[in-house]
Every structure is written in structure tokens, then in C-alpha cells.
Amino acid sequence: MTEGVQLTQAGTGAPYEVFHTDCPARDVVDHVTSRWGVWVLIALRSDDLRFYELRESIKGISEKMLAQTLRALVQDGLVWRKVEPTTPPQVTYGLTEFGQDVGEPLTDLFDRITKRLPPRPAR
């Protein structure tokens, strides 16, 4: 086999060259599978959350990394962002249809892993 996988772009019939560094699908995969991208998608799987709620639910993430991760996922069309014009602004995030579709197998993977891990010893 001499060629990489080619997936078809929705609605165009043109192939994505997923192993090429300039492929836009590759950027989305990089954002989703980044250290924090997976956790943001899992955290938003069941409810829309405000920025501070996301920060509190994802232990270990800094405000800077959360903001960068959310910015990339919003730009990729996986997460939507709603700003309430209050002082200070209230910013809420949720999964788009695309984000729900991508997040579903991640949630399934997370659930499978946590079901298979041995019980944690009592502390």
C-alpha cells in the first residue's frame, strides 16, 4: 500500500488528504485529541456550562489553557459560545451537533475505560 487514507469532504466529493500536514481535518483531530480537548468535550456531553463551571469540572486545567482549548473547539465548529452582556460577561459553552457527534465515541471510550479499571483502594 503506497497511499494514505483519503476521506471524502461532506457534500463536495473531494477527498481529504488526512496524512498531509495542510489538511483541515487533521487540525480538528489535533484539537479534539489535545490534552484538554477531550476533557472539554466530555465535560460538555450532558449540559451546557459557563466558563467557571468548566474550569471547576476539569481539574488541573488553567484558565489560559481552557480559553485556548475552547477558542480552538469553537473555531472548529465543535463547541458554541454564548455571551450574556452583563458585568462581568457570562459566557456559556455547549456542544454543537458536530461536537456531539465527535464527542459520542470519546464518551463511550471514557465509559469503557472507567468500567474496566480495577477498584481504587480506599484512602
Q: Who's near 52: CB < 8 A, 6+ residues apart?
A: none
Q: Which of 9-13, 34-38, 99-103 has the lowest mean pLDDT?
A: 9-13
Angle at 11 between CA 80 and CA 101, to 5 degrees: 40
72 residue type, one letter: A
Cell of 61: 486545567
Amino acid identity for residue 111 in this structure? D
Q: Tell me the pLDDT tens digit for each residue of 22-70.
A: 888 888 888 888 889 999 999 999 899 999 999 999 999 999 999 999 9
Three-class SS of 59-83: CCCCHHHHHHHHHHHHHCCCEEEEE
pTM to 2 decimal places = 0.78
